[in-house]
Structure 1
Amino acid sequence: MLSPQLSYKQPIVVSPDGKPVALTPWLVPIVWEGTFDPMLIDLIYRQKNITIATTVFALGKYTQFLKVFLESAEQNYFVGFRVHYYVFTDQPEQVPAVKMGEEHNLTVLIVPSSNRWQDISLSRMARLEKLIESRLINEADYVFSLDVDSKFYGHWGVETLGRLVGVIHPGYYQTPREQFTYERRPESQAFIPYSEGDYYYGGAVIGGLVEDVYQLAKTCREQLDIDASKSIEAAWQEESHLNKYFLYNKPTKVLSPEYLWQDQIPHKDRVKILRFSQIIKNYADVRPNL
């Protein structure tokens, strides 16, 4: 049984007795296995005729992860619903030919290469903002932006949909707030003091209604631009600004670490089911400036 949200100054994800917490302090769901009926919720959403856009950034050597990402997505990700992948890449010839399910489509968007992995990260919000302005506002109902160096291991469906969706980072879901790697320098627009913060959200998953994700991307891009004008780069680039945005614009649905794990972290006895996880890799082999 899942525990209700306990009264703590810092929101918790797992209660002291080890049970997953089902609600945030602002009374929106934290999605864990057992908190939803997949057959019932699928039935409800099938009547809505929705389209889910999904953006993936595969630049430089990160194109090597596309095949696993797409093949595993086609087995687990919004199966039976209309999905349109938008792959941002500087190497379109490296995009693999993966068999798409019914009403699943893929569009390749060519972008310039970069000599710094940080620049790839920093440009993500701007590219997402422009894509929504130019296409998604008329082509999709929901949008998820997902990291390509990841694999789907289990069901990911409409239980994840909401106006604004964040995922709790697997490295910090049982960590005191003071140890979160928020941006701590007051001169940055991403600054969060040690006394504030809810959860530490992973930047590998951003989602929600197209118009709500647009506001998130636009605001974060503006804050990133302000920082850049002062030669400031937040500790974790767009992830730092995402956490600042979510502090003052609370997600309407929070995904548990089932929806963002890391393969190097043992998951047995920690999560009931592994749904989406970042692949083990040598960053020196894939990042251009390491």
Structure 2
Amino acid sequence: MVCAKKWIFVLAVLMVSFCWYNMRRMALHPSLVFHCNSQLTSSSQFDLLKQDFLHRMLYEKPNVLSPPRSDVLMMTPWFAPIVWNGTYNIDILNTQFHQKNVSIGITIFAIKKYTVFIKTFIETAEKFFMVGYEVNYYVFTDRVGDIPNITLGEGRQLVILEVPSYNRWQEVSMRRMEMIRDHSRQRFVNEVDYLVCVDVDMRFSDDVGVEILSHSFGTLHPGYYAASRTSFTYERRQQSTAYIPTDEGDFYYAGGYFGGTVEEVYKLSNFCHNAMMTDKGNNIEAIWQDESYLNKYFLYHKPTKILSPEYLWDNNYEAPAFLKRRRFVAVPKNHDAIRNKRALRDYSRNK
């Protein structure tokens, strides 16, 4: 036994000496290189790559000198497309995304009395949102018992995530980023490829498909798409981590519609939550809560795609001529009624 241990020790010393000797040779003779046979026989991970192939399709030829829309901006200075009606072919996109077998998660927050909006939201989403794809509706709520039973299509499911409530609606708004971040890390990354994060007090009124999907995307706010950057309601106090100077800014993004891959949504929500907590520690609350931090993030982490106001509209605004479709619109509501129990019951019965 002792003899065996001695031989093991001697062998280890010899191996260390040999490695040290070769390292010294390489240091003293930098021109010394190892030559390998160029005839590689080992397998490669590239052998497992799958070729994407589009089947035969008939559609109008793209015209380089005649853009599909000349009345709106279609591309940002950093080459991110702005999605408008008429700027894409959904059949081509569907073929591409179906080959990738993507799944989509959509998050909504139904805190306190906002559970009243869930039925309309999901029923209209079943008609217009990502039809033909696997979809998880992630409903964050503090009132699990108020969630209605809704029949969903094949490959689509309702996932109820119970979360705490907060006294102030501003606090609810700010905590959304924390909840999205934590669930992205712990759950969403294992279940879906893309996340779409929207407000619940909305309804789908036209098709919303894979044309919106990208690494990261934001949506032009319907009230500020044509405004100058000095008119944007960014956070202007320098003490806040959401601060944006008056001479900076690309667009004003709506806090009620953003998304991307789960990884990118995690990065975004993590940044926003940490910034909020820093401000909270200094007794500062950004002017528009999570929306203010979202705009700060997208200023310095440019989104790879931007959705036009077609994808987030409020019919209280006068519709401009270039707005060809209204895909996702705010539900008419009385904010005071939502805070009043009796009025809320009347609203729910009328729905």
TM-score norm. by structure 2 comes to 0.76
Matched, 1:221 2:273: yes
Which of 135, 138, 144 pairs up with 2:196?
144
Which of 153, 168, 172 pairs up with 1:120?
172
SS in 2 for 1:284: helix
Other-structure match for 1:88: 140
Which of 294, 302, 307 pairs up with 1:242?
294
Q: What RMSD in Å do the two structures reach over aligned CA positions?
A: 1.1
Q: Is the 8 A contact 1:116 1:287 kept in 2?
A: no
Matched, 1:61 2:113: yes
Q: Is the 8 A contact 2:72 2:322 kept in 1?
A: no
Instruction: Tell me the alpha carbon deviations over residues 134-164 of structure 1, each in whole angstroms, 9 at most, x when there is no partner.
Output: 1011111100111000010100000000000
Matched, 1:279 2:346: no
Matched, 1:44 2:96: yes
CA shift, 1:133, in A, is: 1.0
TM-score norm. by structure 1 comes to 0.92
Instruction: Tell me the alpha carbon deviations over residues 87-115 of structure 1, each in whole angstroms, 9 at most, x when there is no partner.
Output: 01111111111111110101111112222
Query: How many angstroms apart in 1 are the aligned matches of 2:246 and 2:86?
Result: 33
Query: How many angstroms apart in 2 are the aligned matches of 1:287 and 1:122?
Result: 19
Other-structure match for 2:124: 72
Query: How many angstroms apart in 2 are the aligned matches of 1:281 and 1:170?
Result: 18
Matched, 1:33 2:85: yes
Structure having the higher Rg: 2
Amino acid aligned to 2:145:
E
Query: How many angstroms apart in 2 are the aligned matches of 1:160 and 1:256?
Result: 10
CA shift, 1:286, in A, is: 2.2
Higher helix proportion (structure 1 or 2): 2
Which of 179, 203, 209 pairs up with 1:157?
209
Amino acid aligned to 1:106:
L
Query: How many angstroms apart in 1 are the aligned matches of 2:218 and 2:320?
Result: 23
Q: Which structure exhibits the higher relative contact order, with contacts defined as CA atoms closer than 8 Å and separated by 6 or more residues? A: 1
Q: Is the 8 A contact 1:267 1:274 kept in 2?
A: no
Query: How many angstroms apart in 1 are the aligned matches of 2:339 and 2:229?
Result: 29
How do 1:230-269 and structure 2 match up within 5 A?
230-267=282-319, 269=321
| Gap runs ≥5 in structure 1 | 4-18
Instruction: Tell me the alpha carbon deviations over residues 234-255 of structure 1, each in whole angstroms, 9 at most, x when there is no partner.
Output: 0000000000000000000000
| Gap runs ≥5 in structure 2 | 1-67, 341-351
SS in 1 for 2:217: strand
Query: How many angstroms apart in 1 are the aligned matches of 2:107 and 2:230?
Result: 32
Percent of pairs with identical residues:
46
CA shift, 1:268, in A, is: 5.7
Runs of 4+ in 1 over 6 A off after TM superposition: none
Other-structure match for 1:102: 154
Other-structure match for 1:9: none
Query: How many angstroms apart in 2 are the aligned matches of 1:164 and 1:128?
Result: 15
Other-structure match for 2:9: none
